[in-house]
Structure formats: C-alpha cells, structure tokens
Structure 1
Amino acid sequence: MEYKWIALSNVLISSLMGMINMSIVLISLPAIFNGIHINPLDSFQYLLWILMGYGLVTATLLLSFGRLSDMYGRVKLFRLGFLIFTLGSVLCYLTPSTGNAGALEIIGFRIIQAVGSALFMANSAAILTDAFPPKELGKALGINMVALMSGQFLGLILGGVLAIFNWRYVFLISVPFGLIGTIWSFYKMKEMSTKSEKTKIDVVGNVTFVAGITLLLIGVTYGLMPYGNSPMGWYNPWVIASMLIGLVFLILFPIIESRVESPMFRLDLFKNRMFTYANGAGLLSALSRGGMMFMLILLLQGIWLPLHGYSYASTPFWAGIYMIPLTVGIIIMGPTSGALSDRYGPRWIATGGMLICALAFILLALLPYNFTYLEFGSILFMMGVGGGMFGSPNSSSIMNSVPPQDRGVASGMMFTIMNTSFTASMAIFFTIVIVGITQRFPDAMATSLASIGAIHLAPILSNIPPTAALFSAFLGYNPVDAILGALPPALVSSIPHATLNTLTGTTWFPSTLENAFIPSLRISFIIGAIFSLIAALLSALRGKSYIHEDEVLKPGSKAYLKQQEYEKKNESSQGK
C-alpha cells in the first residue's frame, strides 16, 4: 500500500474518533445524568462543562501543539495523541463516582481526551499535506472532511443507540478506535515533515493565548448560567472580570507574536491572501455551524418529536436518526468537492457551498413549527451538501498556501480558529435563545395554563427558570414532573386528574415552550445565514488557486524570494 493511503487511513480514524466523541455526549447526556444520579435542573454548570469543556481545552492547545509538531515531528505527536485520547476514554468509561463528584470526574477525564484530540487534530491536515502531492491534496482533505463532519452526526446516532443500553458504552466506543489507531500509527506511519529544530518554544505567546481564550470562554460559559434573581449571569462580577481580562490577554497576544523570535501564531502567514481569506471564511463557517447542530437537536428532541407522539425516553435516539440527511449530504459532496477543487481550483466551489448553507439557514428560519419531516430533511440535506462543498476546498487552500516547514503551525492555526469559533458559536446561540425564552416563557406558561383551566398554577409553574426549561427540553424530559413532585401532596391532590395527565403528558410542555422558543430559534438561523453569506464573500475574494510549491519554482515571484530568504536564514542559524 502506498504511504499516502496509510497516512490517510490513520488520519480518518483520528477524525472520526474525535468528532464522534464530541457529539456522542451531546445526544446521550440524559442517560449520563441518570447514570450518575444528577438532577439536570440543579446541575446546569456540569451540563455546560461536559458539553463545552472539551472544545475549550482543544482550542487552547492546538496552536502550541502545531508549533511543537514542526519542531519535533508531526507523526510523533500524532501517535501520542492517539494514546492519550484512548486513556481518557477508558477513564470516562470507568468513572467511579456518582452525583456531583461523578460529573466532575467526567469533566476531568474529557479534558484528558481533549489533550489527545488536540494532538492529532493539530497534525492531521499537515500529515496529509506531507503525504499527498498538491494536485491530490483536495481529494484527500475532502475525504477527511467527510470523516470530520459525518463523525459529528454518526456520534448522534451512536449516542442514541448506546445510551439505551448503558451510558458508559458512550465512552467505551472510542477505545477500539483508539487502540487500532495507536498500533497502526506506531507500526506504519513515518516522519515526512521538514522539521524546524532551531525554532524556540514561544512561552510568552503560549501563556498569553491560553490564559486569554480560557478566561474569555469561562466567562461566556458562566454568563449563560443564572445569577441571583437573573436568569443569566452577564451581571456577575466574576463573569465580567473574567471576560475583560481574557480580552486584554487576547489583545496583547498579536502584539507579543509580532515581537517574539519564534511566534507560535505566525502573523506573517496572513500576508498570503489565500491563507487569510480561507481562514476568515472558515471562522465564519464555524460560527454559523457550531450552535446550529445544538439548536436542531433542541428543536427535534424538545419540541417536534414529543408533539408527534414520541416518548421523552426515545427522543434522543430519534433525534439522531432524523439528522441523517445532513450526514448524507456531507458524505456525497465532501470527496466530490475535493476532487473538483484539485482540478478547477477551490474558489468558486467553496463559495457555492457557503451560499447553499446560507439558503438552508433562511429556509430553516421560514419553516413553520408544525413542519413535515420531508421539508426538514430536505433542508438538512441541502445544508450537508453546502458544508461538504466548502470544507475540503477551504482546507486545501490553507494547507497549499504555506511552505512545508510551516504546515504544522498552519494546521494548528486553522483548527484553533475553527474550534474556538465552534465553541463561541454555541455560546452565541445559547444566549439568543435563553434571552428570548426569558422574555416570553412566563406569558406563554400563563396562556397555556389558562387554556386547560389551571391558571391558579401559574405562580408555581411560571417560576421554572428559562435555562431549566431549555435544557429539560434538550435532555428529553418534562420538568413539570419535578416541579409537581416538590409540591405539598395536598396541593397536588387538589388538581383534577385530567389536568395532571395533561401537564405531565408529552405534548403540553413542548407546546408551551414552543411559543417562547421558536422566535429566538428563527433569529439564530438568520444570524447563521448572515455568517454564511460573509463566508461566501471571503471565499470569492480569496483569489485563484495558489500552491506554495509551484510558486517557489517561479524565479522572481514573491513566494520564490521568501523561500530563498528562509533558506539563507536557516543555513546561517545552523552554522551558528
């Protein structure tokens, strides 16, 4: 077997494993919370950290690992990533405690997984760029993009299926992949990268970036949580301080990187138009997609499926199944767009993909709440086609535009931008929806109770926190059961039996939440469409196809002169 296919097979395993692990938790949280005996209404902070902590840690480490891979070898760190990720998966499966301690253990073990994920994610695109010739790179990255994007949705299906049997299987599923990838990479992969051994580790830049992005995302995370009498924590002094200090560090970061000898975030790479516009488009694409999947699961799991007769216990499984058209669109267009971009260039294929995504967002915003699945599935397929068209050409644009010795840091920068935007997108969409529910939920509750002759319960049920209403829908259960269970038995017994059946059934609460949720959901979809349109514009402005290796062969070109300058500096540093 040619080495390029060996490299691709290893990268595909890592991509599938990493993305499945990210989304499998999204769909199986009800089973996890039940398994460790936690009440979701009282554990919002754990839910957020299990969901967002993995992405936060991965985003903070990608740049550092990209630089280290250029110094010490991409394959070496890639193998280490497999090993660490597998260890983290085993620990998650073995989580010994229950209650709050169990939740904290899962968060800690997922952080170990995130370290492994960052190690192989920072190197995957660079390894493929080393192994494949430039004219075949788009196809290779397209196949990998299928693994990355379809892995997100395979995780939803696997999470729904495995959670039925045992919540621990959700983490165990990654272990065979990790063992195969570790053994396969150790025995078959070889180092082909051009090392930059004379490069120093950018300690100041690392500390500044990690501190800045961590503090900012922690502030955003806790800003979504209730504080005092407020349903959200944006007025919490600790949240404000965390975000301000984080922003100060991030403002200082490019200043520091422009002055240190060996920056880990290579600002000079942004002088290349293709690199700059492709990363900008990738950032906006991730901002539009990061919260989109969560919103769609909320819509299906919390409202549409219960209203169509599905039990709360079965909604996680069916939500995963009903997201399949999105995966199908990606699988069809991912490798196809990669091959087409190798032949015709990435510019208009990537642009067309983002325009299709924008149209899909607009159609989702216009979709009536009582939509048919054919309408919904068709729009999901369209979004998958658009995402598949964009992903591979955009990645190949970035990786082909840098010299071989900078591919590790370029890959780290690309995935850092993507992961940070993905996590920020979830926070943006969360905020839009929670603010909307805060404004509308009490009135919607009062109206709904009046319709069943239970307006006297409004003072009690209207006190359900908006975040609790939102995440009870996401976790697939009716919070009214918990509220009624906390009331004095005499009060509960005074409620007519028919009214109790209505309140605790599968349709009353989703119908009530729907009136507060759908307007905010439409706003989030419109914002997704705006991000996608700007990404399309940046894709169109990126210029014609640019391959660094081709450019350096043209005497007198800018790339040729830069390469000559780099080689002279490298020779002089080795002489010293």
Structure 2
Amino acid sequence: MVHRHHKSLGPHYKWLVLSNTTLGMLAASINGSILLISLPAVFRGIGLKPLEPSNVNILLWSIMGYMVATSVLVVAFGRLGDSLGRAKSYNAGFLIFTLAAVALSLMPGDGPGAAWYLIVVRIIQGIGGAMLMANSTALLTDAFPTHQRGLALGINTIAAIGGSFIGLVIGGLLADIDWRLVFWINVPIGVIGTAWAYWRLRDRIPPRHRPVDWLGNATFGIGLILVLVAITEGIQPYGTHAMAWTSPKVVTLLALGIALLVAFLFVERMVAFPMFDLALFRIRAFSAGNLASLLAAIGRGGLQFMLIIWLQGIWLPLHGYSFEETPLWAGIFMLPLTLGFLVATPVSGYLSDHHGARPFAVGGMIIGAISFAALMELPPDFSYPLFAFLLFLNGLGSGLFIAPNSTAIMNSVPAAERGQAAGMRATTLNSGQVLSIGIFFSLMIAGMTQMLPQAMETALLAQNVPADIARHAASEPAVASLFAAFLGYNPMGELVPAAALATLPPDAAATITGKTFFPHLLAAPFMHGLVFAFSFSMILNLLAALASWFAGGRYVHDEEPAHTRGRAAVAAAD
C-alpha cells in the first residue's frame, strides 16, 4: 500500500528529513550536555552553593533529570509514532522541547526554588527530546533507500553524539558571558526546527493504529525510573558510608525497579498489542546490535565526566588556569574527541552501506578499548599532544562503531516496526549513559576513598592546620571533592573553615586556597580511581566488539527471500 503522502513528497524529501532531524538531534544532544560545563555559572547565578550537603541531590538531578526522562520514554514514544504517525510524534516533540527551552530562559527567582524549577522544566524538555530521538531514526530509515541509510544515519548520529561534545564548548563560552544564554541558545533552533517540521514533514510509511499498552508502559516506565533514581541516590553519601548503595532506600528502589522490569517482560508476552514486540529480539542483528549499543554507551557515557574532572580539577589548575575559567577550557581541550568522532562517523556509515556493519563496529570498539588502556597509563600532569591524540583515537573508535551499528539495527526490522526499534535503540544509548554515570562515579569514589582522606590529612598537617580540623576536613565524603573538581571549583576554602585559615601563616593559607594545592592533593587518588573506571570501559568495549561480531554481516529485512518475508528472521547473514 502506498501512503497517500508518498507521491507528493518528491525526490528530494529524504534530504529534507535528514536536515530537519539532524537539527532536532543536535538541539536535543547539546541540551543534554550543555549544563555539564555551565552548571557552576548557573548555580552562582541563582545563588546556590553546589557543595552543601543539602544541595547534592539538586546538583545530580540538574545533570541527570533530562537524561532520565529521555531514557524512560523513548520506547513508548517510538511505539506511539508507529501507531499515530512518526512525523506527527516527532513534530510534537520539537514543539514541547522548544516551549520548555523558552520556559528555562525565563527561569524566575533564586535559591533552591529556582533549582527545582530548572530540574522540573528540564524533565519536561526531556519528554520532547524523547519524542525527537524515538522518531528521527525511524523517519530517516523510512525516507532513505537501503544503500544510503548508513550515510544518512551517520550524519544524523554526528548531531546526536557530536552535539553532546559541542555542548561542552558552547556551555563554557555562553556561561562565561551570561548563564541565561545557556538556555536561550535552544530557543531559535527550536522555533525554526518546529515550524519547519510542521510545514514539511509527512509520514512515508502509513501508521498502524493500535490500542495503547497501558500496563506495559506503566511497568516499563516506572521500573526504569526506579532503577535510574536508585543509581542517582546510590552515589550520594549515606551516614558514615561514602555511598548509599547499601541504604534501605536504594536497595528498595532497585528491587522494585527490577521487579517491575521483569513483570514488563511477562506483560508484553500476554497482551495483544504490546508496547514493545519482544519477537524483534529473535532477529540476531537487532538483539546483538542493541546489546553492543548498550555496552558501548555504558563504556562511553562516563568518559565525559572523567575527562572534565581530570582537566578542571587537576591539569588546568596545574597549568596556571584559574578555577573559574577551567570549565570553558576543559571544553576546548576536549575537542580532539569530537574531531575523531566527526571524521569517522559519516565515512563508516557510508562504507557500511556497501560492506556491512561488522568490520567497522568491531574495529571501532577495539580501537576504543586500546584508547582507554593508553589513557590509564598517562600521568596526572600529562603531555597534552599525547592526551589529544588518545582522545582523537577514542572519538574515532566511537565514530566507526555507532553509525554502522545504528544502520544494522534499523535495517533488521520490518518497516512497520521501525518506531519501536528506534525507541529501543535510543533507550540503550540514554540508559547506558545514566548507568555509566552511576557506575563510573561509584568506581571513582571507591578508589578515591582508599587514598584521599589520608592524603588530605597529611597535606593539611604539613601546612600547620590543627590536627582536629585536618582530620575533620579529611573525613568529608570523597564525592564532595569529586563534584568540586567536576564543577571547576576549589573546595579547600570550605573544607578548612575561614576562622582556621585566619590563624595560619599567610603563606600556608595562600597555599591551601591556591591553584595547585587541591589539584596535587586530588591527583594520586583520582588516578587510582580512574584505573578502575577506565578498566571497566575497556572491558565493555571489548564485549561490545564481540556482540558486534555476533550480530553478523549485512542484513536488510526488506531484502528477505520471498518465502520468509512477513516473519521475524531469527538470524542475520554471516
């Protein structure tokens, strides 16, 4: 059946879809990362101290609220796009995203009230972002023939992943001028993209109207929310413990969340029109591709955070940069990572159209594993050219992997199921990033807790700080120092009370609050924790390479033999 819009769309419609969805993904991904760099300026603008214990939860949810919303909702919105129309759902997402951008730009008040306003509106914006992410890949797959999908998805993926790195630089530049510009940047992009989408985008594949699977949506959505909230709570201090993984609250959230996700699997097998058709996982290219995507996302997701901490908390201050200017320069010095990604993604996407995904996806993950192994061998005060080369290598590996992997996943499913397939792929990417943050921070905090307290107490005593004050400062949770480094913030003026600093010799007080005391103090414990975190990433990259190999060679569902068409294939071509 030819959709009624099909003939009127014209031969150049596919490029219109590519340009608009690329703009949409760019806006959504920039929005997801722009606060990572600009959050210190935002907190200063609303008069909130990020390192006060009562504000740690606000800090975490300011960063993760948007990602949690997109992670939870992309599968549901992918199915909604299959049922109601992918263009309609995508357009509505652009509109919600833009309205939320305007609301953020007009953020009222100051203090905790303004911070919670920021969190709530960013979660709403995440709803729009989820609708964009869930339907953009499906719209592209509908619009492009199989021999061009890798190129199209590669270009779109540049915006989706590359935008998250570009957001770091933009956030640093704009926050240096005025923190409100961080939110205003998405308003013109959103207005133009929304108007353009409503004017020109149409569905090329007719929607298949189905009843809403309310029980499936509820079990999946609530279950995933509980798990992601537990991860956010788990990396916060709990009593005398460095983290809260053993607290009754976190254990309960995890148990309930996992139980609901297990229940979701049973629900989907029983309902007539499931939210997600589990039969798609019988397609080897789809199941192995999504597994590889999840493993790669977990391995890659925490990388930004570790590099930001390394640069802002250690390397930049040791090289004369003030803590206030480190966020901007951290974004600039991370550009080789983006460059490697931008170089590899369209090339690997184009080549995978002709040679299949396997060599590029496998090779990309092996290159990524090598880069993580090499980064672990660097000293805290590294040589920047070598650091830049390893970042470029890491970005190159990710770029080689992600476009072929996305193309293989989308090619493997029937045309009518592309919305939910795109939603599942986006869920692996976004959930992997949130999981990665929890895992990376947990590994880092565990490593730092072994070394930081003793190192801090010894260093403070050497500067004539009274023993009780040095001991108290050293007993503060390692997560406080970690967040300070992440925010480009020198915490020594708060860890050592002003009254105590006033009693010290002027040289000692100046040393403690200067540019290099905290970085030198943090360097060895940080590198100890980094070995745990990057070893984990290296292992995940190798497992993603194995999953990509298992996914098989080039396979397109629409090119099945006639006698198998209409059924889910159980294996991809080797």
Same fold (TM over 0.5): yes
* Match among 428, 432, 454 for residue 443 of structure 1: 454
> 2:123 matched to which residue of 1?
111
Distance between the aligned counterparts of 2:356 and 2:85, measured in 1? Answer: 30
The answer on 1:323 being equivalent to 2:334 is yes
Question: Contact between 2:137 and 2:422, CA under 8 Å: does it hold in 1?
Answer: yes
Shift of 1:228: 2.2
Whether contact under 8 Å (1:97, 1:105) holds in the other structure is: no
The partner residue of 2:524 within 512, 515, 530 is: 515
CA contact (8 A) 1:364 1:522 kept: no
- Contact residue 33 and residue 165 of structure 2 kept, 8 A: yes
SS of the counterpart of 2:107? coil
Residues 1:10 and 2:20 are matched in the alignment: yes
Q: 2:371 aligns with which of 356, 360, 378?
A: 360
Cα distance in 2 for residues equivalent to 1:148 and 1:13: 9
Which of 85, 92, 99 in structure 2 is aligned with 1:87? 99
Tell me, yes or no, if structure 1 residue 555 matches structure 2 residue 565: no
Shift of 1:446: 2.1
Residue of structure 2 in register with 1:309 after alignment: 320
Residues 368 and 394, structure 2, Cα contact 8 Å, conserved in 1: yes
SS in 1 for 2:324: helix
What is the 5 A alignment of 1:50-61? 50-61=62-73
Alignment of 1:134 with 2:146, yes or no, is: yes
SS at match of 2:137: helix
SS at match of 1:313: coil
* Structure 1 residue runs without a partner (length 5+): 564-576
Distance 1:178 1:341 in 2: 32
Q: Which residues of 2 match residues 42-57 of structure 1 at below 5 A?
A: 42=52, 43-57=55-69
- Give the CA deviation at 1:494: 2.0
Q: Give the structure 2 partner of residue 277 of structure 1.
A: 288
Pairing of 1:525-536 with structure 2 (within 5 A):
525-536=534-545
Matched with 1:36 is 46
Alignment of 1:114-125 (within 5 A): 114-125=126-137
Bigger shift: residues 464-473 or 201-210 = 464-473
Describe the SS at the equivalent of 1:76.
Answer: helix
Check the 8 A contact 2:207/2:416 in 1, yes or no.
Answer: yes
Which residue of the other structure, out of 458, 481, 505, is the alignment partner of 2:470? 458
Q: Secondary structure at the match of 2:565?
A: helix
**Superposed CA offset, 1:379-406 (max 9, x none):** 0000111111101100000111111110
Partner of residue 158, structure 2: 146
Q: Secondary structure at the match of 1:38?
A: coil
Aligned 8 A contact 1:478 1:509 in 2: yes
C-alpha contact (below 8 Å) 1:29/1:475 kept by paired residues: yes
Q: Out of 414, 420, 425, which is 2:431 matched to?
A: 420
Cα distance in 2 for partners of 1:240, 1:502 equals: 42
* 1:191 counterpart letter in structure 2: D
Q: Is the 8 A contact 1:36 1:102 kept in 2?
A: yes
SS at match of 2:51: helix
Q: Call closer, same or farther: CA 1:561–1:165 in 2, change over 3 Å.
A: closer
Matched, 1:537 2:546: yes
Q: Distance in 2 between matches of 1:49 and 1:191?
A: 36
Contact 1:365 1:523 in 2 (8 A): no
- Out of 361, 365, 372, which is 1:350 matched to? 361
Contact 1:194 / 1:404 at 8 angstroms: preserved in 2?
A: no
Give the alignment of 1:356-505 within 5 angstroms.
Answer: 356-454=367-465, 456=467, 457-484=469-496, 486-487=497-498, 489=499, 491-505=500-514
Distance 2:215 2:502 in 1: 65
Shift of 1:477: 1.5
- Give RMSD over aligned pairs: 1.4
Q: Which residue of 2 aligns with 1:204?
A: 215
Residue in structure 2 matched with residue 228 of structure 1 by the alignment: 239
How many positions carry a matched residue from both structures? 556
Give secondary structure in 2 for the equivalent of 1:312.
coil
Partner-residue secondary structure (3-state), 1:443:
helix
SS at 1:258's partner residue? helix
**What SS does the corresponding residue of 1:201 show, helix, strand or coil?**
coil
- Alignment equivalent of 2:248, drawn from 237, 240, 263: 237
Tell whether 2:160 aligns with 1:184.
no
State the 1:560 CA deviation: 5.1
Instruction: Measure, in 1, the Cα distance between the counterparts of 2:123 and 2:337.
Output: 28
The amino acid across from 1:31 in the alignment is: A
1:516 is displaced (CA, Å) by 1.5
Distance 1:38 1:493 in 2: 25
C-alpha distance in 1 between matches for 2:533 and 2:554:
33
The unaligned stretches of length 5 or more in structure 2 are 1-10, 570-574
**TM-score normalized with structure 2 length:** 0.95
Identity among equivalent pairs (%): 45
**Which residue pairs with 1:566 in the alignment?**
none
Given candidates 245, 255, 261, the residue that maps to 1:250 is 261
Matched to 1:523, the amino acid is: F
Q: Give the whole-Å Cα distance in 1 for the aligned partners of 2:69 and 2:553.
A: 35
Query: How far, CA to CA, are the matches of 1:455 and 1:439 in structure 2?
Result: 23
Q: Secondary structure at the match of 1:41?
A: coil
The one-character-per-residue Cα deviations of 1:262-296 (angstroms, maximum 9, x if unpaired) are 11122100111111111111010001011111111
CA positional deviation for 1:454: 4.0
Cα deviation digits, residues 316-350 of structure 1 (max 9, x gap): 00000011001111111111001100111111111
Distance 2:37 2:512 in 1: 25
- Structure 1 CA distance, aligned partners of 2:326 and 2:274? 48
Counterpart position of 2:300: 289
Q: Is the 8 A contact 2:309 2:486 kept in 1?
A: yes
Provide the rounded CA distance (Å) in 2 between the counterparts of 1:56 and 1:287.
Answer: 14
- Return closer, same or farther for 1:152/1:562 CA change in 2, 3 Å cut-off: closer
Could you report, residue by residue, the CA deviation over 1:5-53 in whole angstroms, capped at 9, with x for unpaired residues?
0000011001110110011001111001101111111111111101111
Q: Please say if residues 71 and 196 of structure 1, whose CA atoms lie closer than 8 Å, have aligned partners that are also in contact.
A: yes
State the one-letter code of the partner of 1:20: I
Q: Please give the secondary structure, in 2, of the residue aligned with 1:229.
A: coil
